[in-house]
Copies of this chain bind each other. A is one copy, B any other.
Amino acid sequence: MLNATTEGGDAQTVEPADASGPVRIVDIAAELGLSVATVSRALNGVATVKPEVAEKVREHARRRGYVRNRLAKSLRSRTRTFIGFLVPDVENLAYAIAADACAKYVSRLGYQMILAISGDDPQSECAALRSLAEAQVAGLIVAPTAGITPASRALLRGRSVVEFNRLSGLSQHSVVCDDRAAFSDAARHLLQLGHRSFGYIGTTDAVSNGEERLDGFRTQLQTHGHRLPHNRTRLLPPTEKDGYRAAWELLSGTRLPTALVVGSSSLSMGVARAVRELGVKVPQQMSLVVYGDSRWGALYEPALTTITAPYQLMARTVADLVADLVSADGERPDSPVRLPAELLVRQSTGPPPGRNR
């Protein structure tokens, strides 16, 4: 039952690790009667080593189970092999996807990703940044908190940093999502369906794109001569609970808006739950557009029309950008890279109650 993995003829077993600690280049050199320099060069594939010697060294290193000490290597050669990834949390699927893609991608480029969590707390953020700086990160991907401290900014000075998903003006480089356009699209979509009375539940968070989302939606409405009434706009902290409560408040009145847009993924979950409990018929009584991951919205009944950010792409882009930044030290477009968000039209949006299409 347990995979014994004793297949294969030649027992290429490494020698039993003796108690003399990890094997170093010095050990290999001594055992082979070579100098450390030659061994080092052989292991690094430097061409000046005679091929047969190089092969012998590599073979010996392999069976002795040598693993290079990257700390020493980095220290001496002044190369850096870590990339820091600092986000508020990684339970948020968006950041999880980004972390995943980024870790994979930078490892392919020869780097290693240190994951740090700020918990959206400027204090922890600052501590994490210091810790990352101490680890000599080559580059840094960060989704900053709203209250980023001057100390944090100072820590970042002179390093290759790319802002991710949030803008706080601490680097010329950033990869964000064009939420404004997406929410504008959502407005257009709802207007086309014939909606005239709107509600919005979003976040007030300045550092994230909260304001942009609201603005994109509202501006598009205004462009077409409609407005988003104040008493049907709720700006809240992005938690499931707040979304739930706001939806109850907004939707338990006598007259519902015919279309409701939610501007945060956590809020969306709460709103969706409240809508179901309130028994509001979607989309017959009210259309609903949410923001967030495309997956869970598909499971809801009816499947939710969803504004979703291309997190995989964003992650790859940001990893690419930071890798370029640290390697070539070169010139890259300074202006933020804005990747388009997508409006997935599903079953939760339709014509408003009065109109039979």
Contact = CB atoms under 8 A, between A and B. Distances in A.
Interface of A: 1-3, 5, 12-14, 16-17, 65, 67-72, 74-75, 81-82, 85, 89-91, 93, 96-97, 99-100, 103-104, 107, 112-117, 119, 127-128, 130-136, 146-147, 149-150, 154-155, 157-158, 169, 206, 269, 272-273, 276, 295-296, 298-301
A301 B300 contact: yes
Nearest to A90: B100
A287 B82 CA distance: 49
A113 B128 CA distance: 11
A2 to B, nearest CB: 6
Given A75-B75, A90-B100, A65 B154 contact: yes
A113 B115 contact: yes
Nearest to A268: B299
Contacts of A157: 17, 65
A57 B116 CA distance: 29
Nearest to A240: B295
A21 to B, nearest CB: 9
Nearest to A133: B67
A103 B128 CA distance: 11
Given A2-B169, A17-B158, A150-B5, A295 B276 contact: no
Given A75-B69, A136-B69, A119 B90 contact: no
A46 to B, nearest CB: 18
Contacts of A3: 146-147, 206
A112 B112 contact: no
B100 A89 contact: yes
B91 A135 contact: no
A114 B83 CA distance: 10
Contacts of A146: 3
Contacts of A97: 91
Contact of A273 (B65, B119, B299): B299
A72 B169 CA distance: 32
Contact of A119 (B104, B136, B169, B296): B104
Contacts of A147: 3
Given A3-B206, A296-B296, 9 more contacts: A67-B133, A69-B75, A85-B115, A90-B90, A90-B103, A104-B117, A112-B114, A115-B115, A299-B300
Nearest to A295: B269
Contacts of A276: 301
Contacts of A85: 115
Contacts of A114: 82, 112-115
A83 to B, nearest CB: 10
5 contacts: A17-B157, A65-B157, A69-B134, A90-B99, A90-B100
A161 B102 CA distance: 24
